[in-house]
A = this chain, B = another copy of it.
Amino acid sequence: MSGAVDPGYDPHAFEPFAVTVDLAVFTVRGGALHVLLIRRGQEPYAGSWALPGGFVLPRESAETAARRELAEETGLPEQVVAALHLEQLRTYSEPDRDPRMRVVSVAFTALVPDLPEPAAEGGGDAAQARWLPLGEVPDLAFDHAVILADARMRIRSKLEYTCLATAFCPPEFTLGELLAVYETVWDTVLDRPNFRRKVLTTPGFVEAVPGAARLTGGRGKPAALYRAGPATALHPPLLRPEGPTP
């Protein structure tokens, strides 16, 4: 616990820890799950791709730092960043994960709708930011490949028993778009009518927008629009077809 040992503990007595945050920010675009990556400008791993993130400042919590870094590196307005779904994933603390010094990193997962185009240059850190499909992600700096894999597993399983999928959608969406989120994240094909039945009979998952409908890219019958409902958990869950973690 915080201070079982503390004989007049001197903060500068030994090599200190640095604390950082790393962000695995996902979006669904064009039928593929994308993750936000930045290209590193400095050593170590200069030129490599990495997850966005940075140091936690002395008066910040890890979550505050995560939102600040995300705003800086994506150029999204603070207000948008303040509202989006951000969730702690886990903390990575292997002693040699950073070659320079002891760095403990708190990793977060964020889900955003497709809309925001990278707009990376706002940050100023000269690092370029891009959305990359998971299939095209190159080797990453530090242990970020592990973090990314953990984050992916986490969201795959969270879609099963939470209403998180709506975080990938714009404020108003069609059930076809929501279906596409599930199919993309799980990399499966779901039965459309069954999916519809499940979503609509789960209380609080989605709410119909009265009278609204949208033409789905020109083809087919217009779809009704829905908003995310107040529910956060799915009882019973919406299990994906195959095993727990294919």
Identify the A interface with B (CB < 8 A): 1-7, 9, 11-12, 14-23, 38, 40, 42-45, 50-56, 58-63, 69, 73, 88, 90-91, 93-95, 97-98, 100-106, 125, 127, 141-142, 144, 161, 233, 235-237, 239, 243-245
Contact = CB atoms under 8 A, between A and B. Distances in A.
Contacts of A7: 42
Contact of A2 (B88, B142, B161, B235): B142
Q: How many copies does the complex hold?
A: 2
B125 A106 contact: no
A5 to B, nearest CB: 6
A4 B91 CA distance: 18
B50 A62 contact: no
Nearest to A103: B2
B1 A95 contact: no
A12 to B, nearest CB: 6
Nearest to A14: B58
Contact of A58 (B20, B44, B91, B102): B102
Nearest to A40: B4
A43 B127 CA distance: 45
B233 A236 contact: no
Nearest to A41: B4
Nearest to A54: B4
Given A17-B18, A61-B94, A235-B244, A103 B12 contact: no
